Structure 1
Amino acid sequence: MNTLKCMLGILLITVFIITGCSRDDENSTPILPQEILAYDDLAGFYSTHGVQKQNFTIDATVGGSITGENGTIITIPANSLVDVDGNLVSGMVDIGIKEIFTPSEMILSNRPTNAINFSGENTFLLSEGETEVVFTQNEDSLQMAMGTFYQIQVPSAGGFDAGMLPFRGTITDDGSIEWNATRDIGAGNGSSGMVYNAAPSSYLYDVFNTGWSNCDKFYAYPGAKTTNYINLSTSPNAVETAIYLVFEENNLPAVVKIFNSGEPIIQSYTNSLPVGLEVTYVAITIVDNQQYLAVKSVVISEEEELSFDFEPKTTQEILDALTLLDD
Structure 2
Amino acid sequence: MKTNLKNIGLVLLASIALVSCSNDDNDNQNSAPSAAEFANIRQTALDNLTQEFTLVAEDGATTFTSEKGVQFTIDGACLTKNGNPVTGSVAVEFVELFDAGSMLVTDKTTMGRLPNGDMGLLVSGGEFYINATQGGVELDITCPMQLLIPSTLTGGADNTMTLWDGTIDENGNLDWDEQGADPVGQNGVFVEGTALNAPYYAFFNSFGWTNVDRFYDDPRPRTTILAEAPNGYNFGNSAIYLHYDGEASTLAKLDTYNDATNQFSEHYGQIPIGLECHVIFATEEAGQWRYAIKSATIAAGDVYTFTMGETTLGTEAQLVAAINALP
Name the TM tier (shorter chain): 0.7 to 0.9
What value does the CA root-mean-square deviation take over the aligned residues? Answer: 2.8
User: Whole-Å Cα distance in 2 between the matches of residues 104 and 235 of structure 1?
Assistant: 25
Residue deviations 1:268-309, cap 9 Å, x none? 132200111111111112467785311101011111111123
Secondary structure at the counterpart of residue 164 of structure 2: strand
Specify the alignment match of 1:44 in structure 2.
40
Corresponding letter in the other structure for 1:126: V
Corresponding letter in the other structure for 2:56: D
1:314 matches 2:313: yes
Residue deviations 1:174-231, cap 9 Å, x none? 333110110469xxxx999222135763211111110010111111111111111112
The answer to whether the Cα contact below 8 Å between 1:183 and 1:192 also exists between their aligned partners in 2 is: no
Shift of 1:160: 2.8
Shift of 1:262: 4.8
The answer to whether the Cα contact below 8 Å between 1:149 and 1:208 also exists between their aligned partners in 2 is: yes
User: Whole-Å Cα distance in 2 between the matches of residues 89 and 272 of structure 1?
Assistant: 46
Specify the alignment match of 1:155 in structure 2.
150
Specify the alignment match of 1:253 in structure 2.
249
Secondary structure at the counterpart of residue 269 of structure 2: coil
Give the percent of matched residue pairs that are identical in Structure 1 and Structure 2. 25
Q: Which runs of 5+ in 2 are unaligned?
A: 1-32
> After superposition, where does 1:182-261 map in structure 2 within 5 Å?
182-183=179-180, 193-198=188-193, 201-232=198-229, 234-239=230-235, 240-249=237-246, 252-261=248-257
Higher helix share: 2
> After superposition, where does 1:126-165 map in structure 2 within 5 Å?
126-145=123-142, 148-156=143-151, 157-165=154-162
Q: How does the TM-score come out when normalised to structure 1?
A: 0.78
The answer to whether the Cα contact below 8 Å between 1:229 and 1:267 also exists between their aligned partners in 2 is: yes
1:123 matches 2:138: no
Secondary structure at the counterpart of residue 47 of structure 1: helix
Report which stretch shifted further, 257-266 or 294-303: 257-266
User: Whole-Å Cα distance in 2 between the matches of residues 274 and 184 of structure 1?
Assistant: 30
Specify the alignment match of 1:111 in structure 2.
108
Specify the alignment match of 1:13 in structure 2.
none
The answer to whether the Cα contact below 8 Å between 2:78 and 2:85 also exists between their aligned partners in 1 is: yes
1:59 matches 2:56: yes
Which structure is larger by alpha-carbon Rg, 1 or 2? 1
- Structure 1 residues 208 and 269: CA distance shift in structure 2, 3 A: farther
Specify the alignment match of 1:83 in structure 2.
81
The answer to whether the Cα contact below 8 Å between 1:235 and 1:241 also exists between their aligned partners in 2 is: no
Corresponding letter in the other structure for 1:280: H
Residue deviations 1:77-112, cap 9 Å, x none? 35111012x111122211111111111100011100
**Segments of 4+ moved more than 4 angstroms:** 287-291
- Structure 1 residues 127 and 289: CA distance shift in structure 2, 3 A: closer
Q: How does the TM-score come out when normalised to structure 2?
A: 0.78
Decide which of 67, 71, 74 is 2:72's aligned counterpart: 74
- Structure 1 residues 74 and 235: CA distance shift in structure 2, 3 A: farther
- Structure 1 residues 289 and 126: CA distance shift in structure 2, 3 A: closer
- Structure 1 residues 191 and 325: CA distance shift in structure 2, 3 A: farther
Residue deviations 1:230-255, cap 9 Å, x none? 123x3442352201101254x65210
Specify the alignment match of 1:15 in structure 2.
none
Q: Which runs of 5+ in 1 are unaligned?
A: 1-36
Specify the alignment match of 1:323 in structure 2.
321
User: Whole-Å Cα distance in 1 between the matches of residues 256 and 37 of structure 2?
Assistant: 14
Report which stretch shifted further, 261-270 or 128-137: 261-270
